[in-house]
Structure 1
Amino acid sequence: MKEKVLIFDTTLRDGEQSPGASLNVQEKVEIARQLEKLNVDIIEAGFPASSPLQFDAVRQIGEESGKIVAALSRAVEGDIKSSWEALRNARHPRIHTFVSTSDIHIMGKFGHDRYGKTLAEKQRTILAMAVNAVRYAKTLAGDVEFSAEDAGRTDPSYLAEVIEAVIDAGATTVNIPDTTGYTWPSEFGRKIADLKKRVTNIDRAVVSVHCHNDLGLAVANTLSAIENGARQAECSMNGIGERAGNASLEEIVMALKVRGDLHDYYTDITTEELYNTSRMVSSFTGLVIQPNKAIVGDNAFAHESGIHQDGMLKNRQTYEVMTPQSVGVPQTHIVLGRHSGKHGLQARLQALGYTVAGEELEKVYQRFLSVADKKKEVYDDDLRVLMGDELNRPLEPLELDYLHINSGTASIPTATVRIRVKEDTYEESSTGDGPVDACFKAIERALGIGSLVNSYSVRSTTAGRQALGEATVRLKDSGRFYTGRGVSTDIIEASARAYLQALSLRQEAGLKNNKNTIDNGI
């Protein structure tokens, strides 16, 4: 029989403590509603005693939510009373109280002599505070959780003594936090297993863990704890929280789901809501998700390498251990960039309605690589423009082999071009009123022709600073018009290509009529 692992979401409490991530009441309520859709088991809504806003948010979430709603409080009567007042009308209230138990915390936070002069005396004081806090909370709510802050660095014998005492006092959940993210996964797992052996009444409470990510081990520590008897995981969406954050909810849940072959644990999380929840939390907190973030990052289901794209197109499981749809991402993203291969390009073009193969695909691929070398990613609009440019190319084009522009506010615009016509090349330079004018004049000098430009325009075809520019040049000769289009991230290059394409079409029309319409025998 599989055993359930409860998911205790602390996005709205510990997660909100991330620097710069403060949420207003309505934002916290909206996230809580989404957490219900996600189907977490417990929502830690805030720390009511810390501010009126926190109090109001906990109150509203508690009154509205059908989930267990927890409120945090220190092990002092005033905090506990404030938590209860905020949760009084909640359908499923939980008071979550805590106190430090490690020697470092005790000597640092409870150093005053009123707590005792020696470490042993202070430990007795802390033990009494923990028991009294749980007992008082129990008179107000039936569901009480106790956390031994910095349990990861707490002496095992003292930790076991505290946990046994608070369970006797009425705690229904006992949380073992790795508050500073200090422990090693195997070490933390042993700590949980040791408590299961030492604490005689441990079967009367759910063992929970709350791991921080200071060494990048929060998820690993949580999974190790689950393997050793923990049945509640405290975590946050996107792993946000104090310092380096908390264990990431989405990573814990999907690790348990994907690797179900290794264990007998499950959660009730609706995993298809993970992506939506992640994006809502990111939007409201203003904390950007790193692209390579597991499960919910932009690159989690993106593939640019040609080898990977080819493998994915043949069998998705070659490079994906879960489907994007299983976490709410619409589909795998084949990223087209300089590392992409022909198969990836061909598949994307087919999806856009273009059929290319063989020699034609090779030509398109070379043009694609030229664009990809200038942009981090080639988008669908870029491909449409590229295909339009490619499909309209003449059979015997005048190719731009080289282009150099010198221009500025204190210099005369100068352009140098080298044009390839079959096996021959023609190179010339010219000045102009601007870089485009200089470029056009250099082309005309290289080919020995006069100006035939009837109209010229340039526009951005895709978005962003690296957008493709499309230039259109219209020529008029002997009553006929020839239109060329050029595409590049450099609008001067796009303009040169457009002019040469129009001249190529003019040349092609002349060849069909057995006439050479470009002067000097070219």
Structure 2
Amino acid sequence: MENNNVIVLDTTLRDGEQTPGVSFSINEKIEIARQLNDIGVNVIEAGFPAASNADFKAVESISRAVKKATVCSLARCRTEDIDTALEAMKDAVKARLHIFIATSPTHRKYKLNMSKEKILDKIAQSVAYASKLCDEIQFSCEDATRTELDFLLECYKTAYKNGATIINIPDTVGYACVDEYASLIKKVNDYLNSIKENNDPNFYISVHTHNDLGLATATTLAGLKAGARQFECTVNGLGERAGNAPFEEVILGLRTRKDIYKLDDSLDLRKLYKLSRLVAEHSGFEPAQNKAVVGSAVYSHQSGIHQHGVLKNRTTYEIINPKDLGIPSGDILLSKLSGRHAFLSYAEQLGYTLTERELDEVFAEFKDFADQKKTVSEKDVLALLTSASLKSKGKYKMISHQVFSGDKLISTSTISLAVEDHILTNASCGEGPIDACFSTINLLTGIPAKLQSFELKAVSEGRDGLGEATVKVEYEGTVMIGKGVSTDIIEGSCYAYINAINRIIASKEKEN
């Protein structure tokens, strides 16, 4: 590969889905994969086929849908894992097998119960077997940054000698300091280059970092500067615990400070905001307002001095032009007089693709809302689109709700839900109107879920503004997040709870 080209491996659909409360459907994974392909991501890690039948089907479907990017599957150092991964990718235009095994003392003792010698044997056998069946092999030592250096080098040497040309160095638990990680990347790179028999153009080092200490972006950039030529990432920084290195932060770091990193990429960043919004919609995780690059407030300025500078020239206080990322400029102003075409155009700017039926439904909601509110903001439109998307997904959909409540009354809720061709109606009491609604939904769905957390926030300003409810719900060990939006906080709370229940159902179906 060209020494100044960086390879982007996105693992939103694999590592990103391990975010607590996130479970993508196969159709959602395909939609995200197509958008990743469209923006120019080089490699899409589509899943871990041996983990479940649902993961196998997802990787299989993505392999058929993606025509440009390489599709990558994860596999342990097991023959059956490798065979399953390759079978899932059999229709891929370009396929990569990503083999891994844990190597740190902690993992050897408590997880694998395996000696160093046994681990080296597993690496040699698995990589040699896989390299005869797949042209592109990537190998990772899980928890590399807590592995003894001499053993780590021996593991990577064994993998390389048996056919792995892409060597990934994961900071699995976000343990490494920035300089320490850069030094490790250089040591591994220098060592493997010293034992190469020829100038193999397919060999390069990859970095994979986690954000447990808030250093994922910094360690990734440091690793690239130290000689790595691939970085692994997730959109919006999704991932286990504190998440993975955020795709948008790393690539903007490379672009903004190209004078330092001197690396080129093949991405069309005008599609970045649309990708970020798509992942936020399907995951249920909204980036924080001050989230670097894609947060809703990062291009706003409150200080008078800052406002004065930005009005003169935006580069006084902005190092990123939001238009370059496809972030709507606000040129289209919507009101109750706006037509379908203007609304659809704005929705597309925000990253939504609507069918005729979806457009009919959400446009009707928009007109009702616009009748109540004089000025419709981008936040309002985004909330309406998100709400419509959430309500359209899943087994159960709310038809109506009615609540009786007061300081001298026992709160009672009556709710009707649509499921397939049936309408189900039931009533229940609770400690307040929202608790009564949640109890009724539990009765209707037959899922006695437990509420872990509940949050309400204003989406837009004014008494006629929209509110967003966010719930975290647990059932039989599965925890899911649900969101709902409405001008009525009780209605929005019902939508959120139903959204969480639908996600739990989908997750249980995937497990089975």
TM-superposed CA distance for 1:2, in Å, is: 6.9
Alignment of 1:13-412 (within 5 A): 13-66=14-67, 67-111=69-113, 115=114, 122-199=115-192, 200-201=194-195, 204=200, 205-331=203-329, 381=375
Question: Quick one: distance in 2 between partners of 1:231 and 1:172?
Answer: 12
Runs of 4+ displaced beyond 4 Å: 462-465
Question: Quick one: distance in 1 between partners of 2:226 and 2:181?
Answer: 9
TM-superposed CA distance for 1:263, in Å, is: 2.8
TM-superposed CA distance for 1:466, in Å, is: 3.1
Give the counterpart letter for 1:168 in structure 2. K
Question: Which digits, 9 at most, give the CA deviation of each residue in 1:395-435, with x for residues without a partner?
Answer: xxxxxxxxxxxxxx99xxxxxxxxxxxxxxxxxxxxxxxxx
Question: Quick one: distance in 2 between partners of 1:2 and 1:14?
Answer: 27
Relative to the length of structure 2, the TM-score reads 0.63
Relative to the length of structure 1, the TM-score reads 0.62
Question: Quick one: distance in 2 between partners of 1:144 and 1:52?
Answer: 23
SS in 2 for 1:261: helix
SS in 1 for 2:253: helix
TM-superposed CA distance for 1:198, in Å, is: 2.2
TM-superposed CA distance for 1:311, in Å, is: 1.0
Change (3 A) 1:247 1:463: closer
Question: Which digits, 9 at most, give the CA deviation of each residue in 1:126-164, with x for residues without a partner?
Answer: 111111111111122111111110011111111111111
Give the counterpart letter for 1:17 in structure 2. Q
Question: Quick one: distance in 2 between partners of 1:224 and 1:294?
Answer: 18
Aligned length: 340
Change (3 A) 1:82 1:241: same
Question: Quick one: distance in 1 between partners of 2:261 and 2:462?
Answer: 48
Identify the residue that residue 402 of structure 1 maps to in structure 2: none
8 Å CA contact 1:2–1:266 kept in 2: the answer is: no
Question: Quick one: distance in 2 between partners of 1:49 and 1:168?
Answer: 26
Give the greater-gyration-radius structure (CA). Answer: 1
TM-superposed CA distance for 1:382, in Å, is: 9.8
SS in 2 for 1:242: coil
TM-superposed CA distance for 1:468, in Å, is: 7.1
8 Å CA contact 1:382–1:468 kept in 2: the answer is: no
Question: Quick one: distance in 1 between partners of 2:313 and 2:110?
Answer: 57
Change (3 A) 1:219 1:79: same
8 Å CA contact 1:324–1:332 kept in 2: the answer is: no
8 Å CA contact 1:236–1:247 kept in 2: the answer is: yes
SS in 1 for 2:375: helix
Give the counterpart letter for 2:260 in structure 1. L
Give the counterpart letter for 1:6 in structure 2. I
8 Å CA contact 2:224–2:261 kept in 1: the answer is: no
- Give the superposed CA RMSD: 2.4
SS in 1 for 2:181: helix
Question: Which digits, 9 at most, give the CA deviation of each residue in 1:196-227, with x for residues without a partner?
Answer: 22223466421001100000001100111111
Question: Quick one: distance in 2 between partners of 1:182 and 1:194?
Answer: 18
TM-superposed CA distance for 1:14, in Å, is: 0.2
SS in 2 for 1:177: strand
Question: Quick one: distance in 2 between partners of 1:382 and 1:245?
Answer: 34
8 Å CA contact 2:236–2:248 kept in 1: the answer is: yes
The structure, 1 or 2, with the larger RCO (C-alpha pairs under 8 Å, 6+ apart) is 2
Identify the residue that residue 491 of structure 1 maps to in structure 2: none
Question: Quick one: distance in 1 between partners of 2:268 and 2:251?
Answer: 10
Question: Quick one: distance in 1 between partners of 2:164 and 2:41?
Answer: 21
Question: Quick one: distance in 2 between partners of 1:463 and 1:154?
Answer: 46
Give the counterpart letter for 2:76 in structure 1. R
SS in 1 for 2:132: helix
Moved more, 196-205 or 298-307: 196-205
Question: Which digits, 9 at most, give the CA deviation of each residue in 1:252-287, with x for residues without a partner?
Answer: 101100111223112111111111100000100111
Of 440, 462, 468, which residue of structure 2 is paired with 1:466? 462
Give the counterpart letter for 2:257 in structure 1. R
Change (3 A) 1:382 1:467: farther
8 Å CA contact 1:2–1:264 kept in 2: the answer is: no
SS in 2 for 1:85: helix
TM-superposed CA distance for 1:172, in Å, is: 1.8
Give the counterpart letter for 1:175 in structure 2. N
8 Å CA contact 1:209–1:222 kept in 2: the answer is: yes
Question: Quick one: distance in 2 between partners of 1:318 and 1:166?
Answer: 49
SS in 2 for 1:4: coil
Question: Quick one: distance in 2 between partners of 1:48 and 1:141?
Answer: 16
SS in 2 for 1:99: strand
SS in 2 for 1:265: coil
SS in 1 for 2:258: coil
TM-superposed CA distance for 1:331, in Å, is: 3.0
8 Å CA contact 1:180–1:212 kept in 2: the answer is: yes
8 Å CA contact 1:68–1:92 kept in 2: the answer is: yes
Question: Quick one: distance in 2 between partners of 1:332 and 1:381?
Answer: 13
Question: Which digits, 9 at most, give the CA deviation of each residue in 1:151-196, with x for residues without a partner?
Answer: 1111111111111111110012110000000000100000011112
SS in 2 for 1:381: coil
